[in-house]
Amino acid sequence: MKAVGARMPRYDGVGHVTGQTQYVDDVRVHGMLSAKALRSTVHHAAITNIDTSKAEAMPGVKAVITSKDVPLLEYGHLSGLGIPADEPLLAKDDVRYLGQPIALVAAEDEDTAQAAVNAIEIEFEERPALWDVRKAFDADAPRSHHWGNWYTHFEDEMDRRQIRKGNIEQAFEDADRLVSGVYRTSAIEHVPLEPQVSLVTPEPDGRLTIYSCTQALYFSLAVVAAHLEIPMNRIKIVGGTVGGGFGGKVDTATETITALAAMKANRPVKWRWTREEEFLVSSTRAPWHMEIIDAVTNDGWILGRKMLTLHDSGAYARFSPYGLTKHSFHHTGAYTIPNLHFDGYVVFTNRTPSTAMRGFGVTSISFAVETHMNRIADILGIDPYEIRLKNANRINDTSPNRIRYTDPSTVDVIHAMSNATGVELAPAYAGATRQPREGDMLPDHLVSQLKTEGH
């Protein structure tokens, strides 16, 4: 245990402070082509015509890739888990968000590639766009996705992530009062200093070498191989040096399309996004809409929680079903509420698809839960530390998804906070521990959850 708590130099620190660390854009390969994408200029439309012939005939253009060139057009990052894919690698029949890639041109230099992109003839027939997750369920809402306006492929083809625990009706009957709140977060762009980039070199032995800025190398390996319908042993991915990711480089944003261009041109191809593309097109943290109604007692116990979450997935599912699942497991925060009724929907809109970002799915619910705790304390006139310590997870309590806590740290964390801020707690709360509930900390309504079958 020499490393814990010690100041250790970064293993890659010397390279960083001497400028010798090699990022993807720093890799130099002989004969490399540059790539530019044709992207949707509208938010939602049918593609009625596309003609790449003028672009292909331009001097210096070595490959033009469209959906027709992709062996397996739709493959998702969660396909390996049996979750169906919904997003084409390059748009085919329609576009569902501004900036969606439709074609990629590889040429001798970036200017030639961009000129060729501009020479591609494309026609759209615009459709109404859906922006507000709250309107997605209206009968007259614009239709944003071929599955409907929300994801329908949870287990047993359920259309929501649902949690039922305890007896919610009884909790609402027993409550002294109900406290409700609506909480919303907005999309956030990750803004890594290094924009999305990859470089793919076709090797003489038929393999592909992919230099990637991915955060998830094995995801990218599987996803590229699946789209290209080639075995993984024909792909060598060089990764590990990421110029900032924060979740935004978990999606395989560039590797597969660049690989197709490199194979068609039989030349190394680099596709490097501009900062403008990074802001406008790369995936974001999702906006979330969260509604909570809690059944509470006047002395600050939370007997039950009804909750509705609408997760704005943007135009395609990507990792959103997974993020919403994590969100649902955490929807009581660090507190124990024995009676629960949670419905969460992954809603499709015509926004840029959202993805993982630091605390995927959990950051949103933590914000909602902690704000709501303060609201309850405020309404009841109870100290915000005390209401937290009262309901804090203790050993043998169970989570919304019925995990039995064996060593929860909530009590200790709240004590650390009150110590750091100089808040004096009443003796009953200052002496609270993470040990199993007993006495005043084990009111009747929490007895049954201790008997919930946990795992």
Partner 1 sequence: MNIRLNGGTVDIKSPPLTSLLTVLREELNVTSPKRGCDQGGCGACTVLVDGTPQRTCLTPVAAVDGAEITTIEGLGDSENLTAVQQSFLHHGAAQCGFCTPSMIIAATAYLDGDGSAEPEAIQEALKGHLCRCTGYQKIISAVSAAATKSEFDLTSMTASPNTVILPGGDT
Q: How far is the CB of 2 from partner 1 (least distance, A)?
A: 7
Amino acid at 255: E
Q: Which of 76, 101, 195, 400 binds partner 1 (CB under 8 A)?
A: 195
Q: Which is nearer to partner 1, 5 or 422 (CB)?
A: 5
Q: How far is the CB of 296 from partner 1 (least distance, A)?
A: 36
Q: Which of 148, 181, 243, 384 binds partner 1 (CB under 8 A)?
A: 243
Q: Does 7 bind partner 1 (CB under 8 A)?
A: yes
Closest by CA to 286, choosing from 316, 255, 252, is 316
Q: Which is nearer to partner 1, 14 or 178 (CB)?
A: 14
Q: Which region, judged by CB under 8 A, interacts with partner 1, from 237-245, 254-262, 355-363, 447-455? A: 237-245
Distance, in Å, from the CA atom of 132 to the CA atom of 314, rounded to the nearest integer, reads 10
Q: Which is nearer to partner 1, 13 or 80 (CB)?
A: 13
Distance, in Å, from the CA atom of 333 to the CA atom of 416, rounded to the nearest integer, reads 18
Q: How far is the CB of 422 from partner 1 (least distance, A)?
A: 20
Distance, in Å, from the CA atom of 139 to the CA atom of 377, rounded to the nearest integer, reads 39
Distance, in Å, from the CA atom of 220 to the CA atom of 228, rounded to the nearest integer, reads 12
- Interface with partner 1 in residues 154-193 (CB under 8 A): 190-193
Q: How far is the CB of 293 from partner 1 (least distance, A)?
A: 36
Q: How far is the CB of 6 from partner 1 (least distance, A)?
A: 5
Q: Which is nearer to partner 1, 11 or 439 (CB)?
A: 11
Q: Which region, judged by CB under 8 A, interacts with partner 1, from 135-143, 168-176, 241-249, 418-426? A: 241-249
Distance, in Å, from the CA atom of 426 to the CA atom of 386, rounded to the nearest integer, reads 8
Q: Does 1 bind partner 1 (CB under 8 A)?
A: yes
HEC letters along 258-295: HHHHHHHHCCCEEEECCHHHHHHCCCEECCEEEEEEEE
Site mask for partner 1 (CB under 8 A), range 16-55, x = bound = xxxxxxxx-xx-x---------------------------
Residue 417 and residue 392 in contact, taking contact as beta carbons nearer than 8 Å: no
Q: Which is nearer to partner 1, 192 or 333 (CB)?
A: 192
Q: Does 285 bind partner 1 (CB under 8 A)?
A: no
Distance, in Å, from the CA atom of 225 to the CA atom of 209, rounded to the nearest integer, reads 12
Residue 49's beta-bridge partner residues? 123
Q: Which is nearer to partner 1, 34 or 391 (CB)?
A: 34
Distance, in Å, from the CA atom of 55 to the CA atom of 232, rounded to the nearest integer, reads 32
- Interface with partner 1 in residues 245-284 (CB under 8 A): 245-246, 272, 274-275
* Number of residues counted as binding partner 1 (CB under 8 A): 39
Q: Which of 199, 242, 295, 302 binds partner 1 (CB under 8 A)?
A: 242
Distance, in Å, from the CA atom of 166 to the CA atom of 169, rounded to the nearest integer, reads 9
Q: Which is nearer to partner 1, 304 or 408 (CB)?
A: 408
Q: Does 451 bind partner 1 (CB under 8 A)?
A: no
Degrees, nearest 5: CA angle 27-217-274: 50
Distance, in Å, from the CA atom of 130 to the CA atom of 135, rounded to the nearest integer, reads 8
Degrees, nearest 5: CA angle 198-203-205: 145
Sign of CA dihedral 168, 331, 187, 226: negative
Q: Is 29 helix (H, G, I), strand (E, B) or coil?
A: coil
By the criterion CB under 8 A, which residues form the site for partner 1? 1-2, 4-10, 12-23, 25-26, 28, 190-195, 241-246, 272, 274-275
